[in-house]
Structure 1
């Protein structure tokens, strides 16, 4: 049964074997997809395009395939096979197969063990978060953090080795103004209480004071001293970065995010000369208007839009350090794949980075890792504009989290006044933070979305509170039973019979295919949509089928469905970075 973990993939393999046995050319593709529930659970759609290419009758092709498939006892034991229309091949799972599948994949560990084969052997560096040091994170940072973390968890669950890298902005011109203000206007108590708040205040003050030409010159000198490696400047720079990371990690902890490394821009400043030299030696770079650039003649835009790797003043830039980053991740981490999570405004930059790295690595005999730029859209307010505070400034992430928890506490208190203050605080924290995360993840990442408190904290619809409540409601069933009623459900259960039982079983089985699609596209909203649909299938099942009944076999199979639904909900939400609650 283990090799049936991914049912769609297994059936695809069996159809391919049947096609070869039936004498079809190796250009045949099974094209497995979900079927109309009236006809089956999965459908092979390959006969039609194959017949069109071969100029033959698609139904005859389908009949030949079905004849071969029905000879396969392994498949015929598990599904009924039929033909619909001009040549669609439908597979309807037998209740015995559904029960056997749910008996085999019984908990989070069994799912993880089987899913671990999907991306086994991959080493993936995921670059996400990436704020600037000495600044508070604002609402715009949330998308990179939660999308990136979900991708990391999904990849790990499916067998990949993941390196979480926070490529922070920890170098450059802002430090001159920050250092000037730090040395003259530091509030030690404020720095100890909230490092990021105080550092940001100092940077803003330094920027304002730099309107004076004399102050601006002193700021420039601070930057020159830092870039020259003056010990006093390096010591202050290290302190500022350490305090910044300390401040960032207080929020990361609340979001349940833990990075493996913080290799920011500064880490690569002594690695750019190799980039310049190798691109020049490979004939990929050229001088243009005093700068060193790379053009891509084969590209409609980048034939004339340069990828600037050395500015006209001789300084490096994002392109240079990002190329050095690609080299380091390939050689040091031995990455087979690199995933970078940023907003869609950086689309051109990362497309040029990908093209340049491919050509550079090919010229130097290196293996290019798979590169994915995971782009995301903006978070807008109800007015359709980028969400901001009443003052017009970006809303700080700290404030957003605090407000979410406060609003969640009010809702929870209204729904359950018997909770202790400790229970209320815990439940509100989980719901508030999860609501923010899920609101982001449940939207297609490439789209902008509207942020509304009423929607994201609602206990109805595709929201975190709704899914958390669904999981808690299932657990409330188990609390009413003794251990003997929950033991050996698999051996005591009869095969599924009602339409709702069968639909729920099939929805649980489809969890694997959803994981695969989510990872292939790096779009967490696919998993969110599935979990919402699973909760809906469970709700339909629970409304139409009484779970606690006198018949042991019926009760056992229905408890089995409850338990497996809970396992998938808990596993899926955990992959999204959302913990479940036992009661709400």
Structure 2
């Protein structure tokens, strides 16, 4: 996002400058002076360091071309499919069982078919003496491939696979050249419907809608990334009995209601409460409201006053919903209950013709095997209900929209309802009776747990009201903005930069705090935890991405040129570890998507940042002989992180802002005493202004005294080109130059 920025804040107990720098060498530790210190020395030191820090926007992911080869697991499965065909008799078939091994037996992946195949092969061939011999045969029949460095058999026939580091490096480089899209998983579905959010008209969106909205949005994004056409559906509640009382109250309060604007009606939630109060206490009003429902649902004339009043109420509500969706950057197409209403009668008639609908106590129902109660599709008063609407919507999505996969994202309390609707659809022949024989089309209910407060109960306001989603987002942005202002960003940034950064961090923190939890569990809502810069939070991860962008910028190299001309080498164990984690991105997306578990992607993203920290701590990047290769690994990590953020609906941050230069694990690797002095190298400053740098070096040396660093060390570092020594001390060396300019 243009202008987006981020910062992390940690407070060490020591006030020593040298201690501050050393503490920053620790993984995931960032120094910031405690707010209660306000001495002139501290202010001077902070001012100096702030002047040193500078960041620029890194380009976002470029347009990606198609060249999808599937996940690593899918590619290995193709190889083992050939091996199994060679190994097994013609009357026995098996699909390869490939999984990441997590480093067991020193391998990257395993083929786990031997155990299950042994029971089927026993007594059929003298070749097989047990699972290990089956594993040996599978390994022996494996075709040669550049992606495999070695294989071995361990335990009860597990075939261990070690990937070739040359192939891994080539695959990562190919992604950098052609775009992350080539790492998209391949799913066996062309079109899907994701039904999510689904608020009720005339009621404000609350914290419960947050879960449905962001979980549904993430599932839709993962499907879209996997080349599935996704129909994002917002099944709003716009056609119920509540509209009778809303319409009648509108007529009563505003006789000239057609001329009344949104401002006059005011808070629609309050409008709903007042109409409900009248409905409950005034029998005459209740009767008029019930008649209004009949008139509304029976009318087909768009100019009918009931239809026009209903349209006005829906439009006001729709505008409020849209404001929330725009803030969350969620795209939805509204297909409310009213959209399906004209189809209900014909759909139910079709079910009746199939003998599925029967009468029970005046209502029309469908009996579902294994359920104690039937599915009511027409109430005893002749009215339709949620079941009749949901069945019709499912019919429409299968038969008109031709969806192969339909996903409903609602709270777990609606699970039984949807199970019965899906069962009725199978009885009607809309869905296959046996998913194993015919997996598509299919339906899934994606349930989620509650959002709790600190008291362990449903998250509510102090007055026990439901927390409005707009208030929650306002608070997240406000807290994020205050944190930025406390660290002096208001003096350095424009109001727009502050505002955009606060939104990116605040909204991202709210989303990530929800998505990182298994959706089926309840979780406790805490601003303090979600806006923390420690551990598995959006703030930490957004900074980690910004830090990688900063490393690339500091190198002074053109990363686009490196992608085309550079070569990745994975000789160091931590280079290889990072490379393997990057390559597993596609299968993680596949798992998260097919199992409807966004937390799997969150866990991958956090582990990626940890893997990068380990790599960066042990492998010098800028100024090393392997600089080109390692810069490309940095870029690959940033690209994958950005895609993870995109799939989670989080805006990435490109500026890493802190009160000291962040540790890189590189400064300790350089001994200033062995750097070759070359007076000519400091003749001109890095801004190419042809100024003699003697004054600049003196000013920089003075700055290091303030910072508690030996000026002899600084002077020697000042003799070396910027790109050849650590950014932290290099910036000190050019600090005087920046002051002069």
TM band (smaller chain): over 0.9
Separation (CA, whole Å) in 1 of partners of 2:381 and 2:97: 55
Preserved contact between residue 105 and residue 111 of structure 1 (Cα < 8 Å): yes
Which one of the candidate residues 556, 568, 573 is aligned to 1:482?
556
- 1:245 is matched with 318
Preserved contact between residue 552 and residue 559 of structure 2 (Cα < 8 Å): no
Residue pairs, 1:515-526, within 5 angstroms: 515-526=589-600
The answer to whether residue 179 in structure 2 is matched with residue 102 in structure 1 is no
Separation (CA, whole Å) in 1 of partners of 2:431 and 2:276: 44
Separation (CA, whole Å) in 1 of partners of 2:405 and 2:243: 33
The answer to whether residue 416 in structure 2 is matched with residue 342 in structure 1 is no
- Aligned pair in 2 of structure 1 residues 326, 392: CA closer, same or farther (>3 Å)? same
Preserved contact between residue 431 and residue 442 of structure 2 (Cα < 8 Å): no
Separation (CA, whole Å) in 2 of partners of 1:539 and 1:190: 59
Residue pairs, 1:19-58, within 5 angstroms: 19-24=84-89, 26-37=92-103, 39-55=106-122, 56-58=129-131
Following TM superposition, by how much is the alpha carbon of 1:167 offset from its aligned partner in structure 2, in angstroms?
0.7
488-497 vs 500-509, greater mean Cα deviation:
488-497
Separation (CA, whole Å) in 1 of partners of 2:655 and 2:316: 38
- 1:233 is matched with 306
The answer to whether residue 133 in structure 2 is matched with residue 68 in structure 1 is no
Separation (CA, whole Å) in 2 of partners of 1:377 and 1:150: 17
- 2:335 is matched with 263
What TM-score do you get using the length of structure 1 for normalisation? 0.92
Following TM superposition, by how much is the alpha carbon of 1:502 offset from its aligned partner in structure 2, in angstroms?
0.8
Preserved contact between residue 500 and residue 541 of structure 1 (Cα < 8 Å): yes
Separation (CA, whole Å) in 1 of partners of 2:260 and 2:470: 17
Residue pairs, 1:199-218, within 5 angstroms: 199-210=268-279, 211-218=281-288
Q: How many residues align?
A: 570
Following TM superposition, by how much is the alpha carbon of 1:274 offset from its aligned partner in structure 2, in angstroms?
1.2
Separation (CA, whole Å) in 1 of partners of 2:88 and 2:158: 19
Separation (CA, whole Å) in 2 of partners of 1:269 and 1:166: 15
435-444 vs 268-277, greater mean Cα deviation:
268-277
Following TM superposition, by how much is the alpha carbon of 1:506 offset from its aligned partner in structure 2, in angstroms?
0.3
Which one of the candidate residues 526, 535, 554 is aligned to 1:461?
535
Preserved contact between residue 217 and residue 330 of structure 2 (Cα < 8 Å): yes
The answer to whether residue 154 in structure 2 is matched with residue 84 in structure 1 is yes
- 2:366 is matched with 294
The answer to whether residue 271 in structure 2 is matched with residue 224 in structure 1 is no
Separation (CA, whole Å) in 2 of partners of 1:243 and 1:120: 40
Preserved contact between residue 149 and residue 162 of structure 2 (Cα < 8 Å): yes
419-428 vs 321-330, greater mean Cα deviation:
419-428
Following TM superposition, by how much is the alpha carbon of 1:246 offset from its aligned partner in structure 2, in angstroms?
1.3
Preserved contact between residue 589 and residue 601 of structure 2 (Cα < 8 Å): yes
SS for the counterpart of 1:578 is coil
- Aligned pair in 2 of structure 1 residues 272, 29: CA closer, same or farther (>3 Å)? closer
**Which deviations, in whole Å up to 9, do the C-alpha atoms of 1:549-582 show, x marking residues without a partner?**
241xx11111111000000000111011111011
- Aligned pair in 2 of structure 1 residues 4, 238: CA closer, same or farther (>3 Å)? closer
Preserved contact between residue 68 and residue 182 of structure 2 (Cα < 8 Å): no
Following TM superposition, by how much is the alpha carbon of 1:52 offset from its aligned partner in structure 2, in angstroms?
3.7
Preserved contact between residue 191 and residue 199 of structure 1 (Cα < 8 Å): no
- Aligned pair in 2 of structure 1 residues 184, 438: CA closer, same or farther (>3 Å)? same
**Which deviations, in whole Å up to 9, do the C-alpha atoms of 1:91-138 show, x marking residues without a partner?**
11122111111111116x6322452x7136511111111110111111
Which one of the candidate residues 579, 582, 593 is aligned to 1:505?
579
- Aligned pair in 2 of structure 1 residues 194, 73: CA closer, same or farther (>3 Å)? farther
Residue pairs, 1:328-477, within 5 angstroms: 328-361=396-429, 369-415=441-487, 417=489, 418-477=492-551
Following TM superposition, by how much is the alpha carbon of 1:45 offset from its aligned partner in structure 2, in angstroms?
1.4
Following TM superposition, by how much is the alpha carbon of 1:173 offset from its aligned partner in structure 2, in angstroms?
1.4
SS for the counterpart of 1:136 is coil
Which one of the candidate residues 225, 228, 231 is aligned to 1:163?
231
- 1:540 is matched with 614
- 2:59 is matched with none
405-414 vs 21-30, greater mean Cα deviation:
21-30
User: What are structure 1's unaligned runs of at least 5 residues?
Assistant: none
SS for the counterpart of 1:74 is coil
Following TM superposition, by how much is the alpha carbon of 1:415 offset from its aligned partner in structure 2, in angstroms?
4.3
219-228 vs 455-464, greater mean Cα deviation:
219-228
- 2:649 is matched with 577
Separation (CA, whole Å) in 2 of partners of 1:549 and 1:193: 62
What TM-score do you get using the length of structure 2 for normalisation? 0.73
CA RMSD, aligned part only? Answer: 2.5
User: What are structure 2's unaligned runs of at least 5 residues?
Assistant: 1-65, 123-128, 657-741
Separation (CA, whole Å) in 1 of partners of 2:318 and 2:652: 28
SS for the counterpart of 1:565 is helix
Following TM superposition, by how much is the alpha carbon of 1:212 offset from its aligned partner in structure 2, in angstroms?
2.0
Separation (CA, whole Å) in 2 of partners of 1:160 and 1:410: 41
Following TM superposition, by how much is the alpha carbon of 1:46 offset from its aligned partner in structure 2, in angstroms?
1.2
SS for the counterpart of 1:443 is coil
Following TM superposition, by how much is the alpha carbon of 1:191 offset from its aligned partner in structure 2, in angstroms?
5.6
Following TM superposition, by how much is the alpha carbon of 1:482 offset from its aligned partner in structure 2, in angstroms?
2.6
